[in-house]
Amino acid sequence: MRIGTVVIVLAAGALTGCASQESSQDRTERAERAIEICRDHDGVVAFDDDAVICADQTFSDERGERAVEACREHDGVGAFDDDLVICRDATFHQVEGG
């Protein structure tokens, strides 16, 4: 029984290691995608999931568009997450449909 327990523990550890490797690869792909989207737009200012906002205030999707619109009169987007956007002038706004 003890050998069986050891095998189960080792197998669980191997599976956890694979899952960690996949999530690390996913993070790398997301970061590389954001960088590529903003390559000709002065770099990345903010990103979350699939939404990317570049320094020149171009965006990749509807969430990014809503964030940029909310900060249009506030020096542009500085950061955003889900339903909240922080503008460069240090104001913040709730953005519907985050």
pLDDT computed for residue 5 by the predictor: 41
Domain ranges, residue 78: 2-94
Q: For residue 27, what are the contacts with CB-CB under 8 A and spacing of at least 6?
A: none
Q: For residue 50, what are the contacts with CB-CB under 8 A and spacing of at least 6?
A: 60, 61, 63
pLDDT range class, residue 23, cuts 50, 70, 90 = confident
d(C-alpha 58, C-alpha 37), whole Å: 9
Mean per-residue pLDDT of the chain: 83
What is the arithmetic mean of pLDDT over 66-95?
Answer: 95
Per the structure, the count of domains in the chain is 1
d(C-alpha 38, C-alpha 60), whole Å: 9
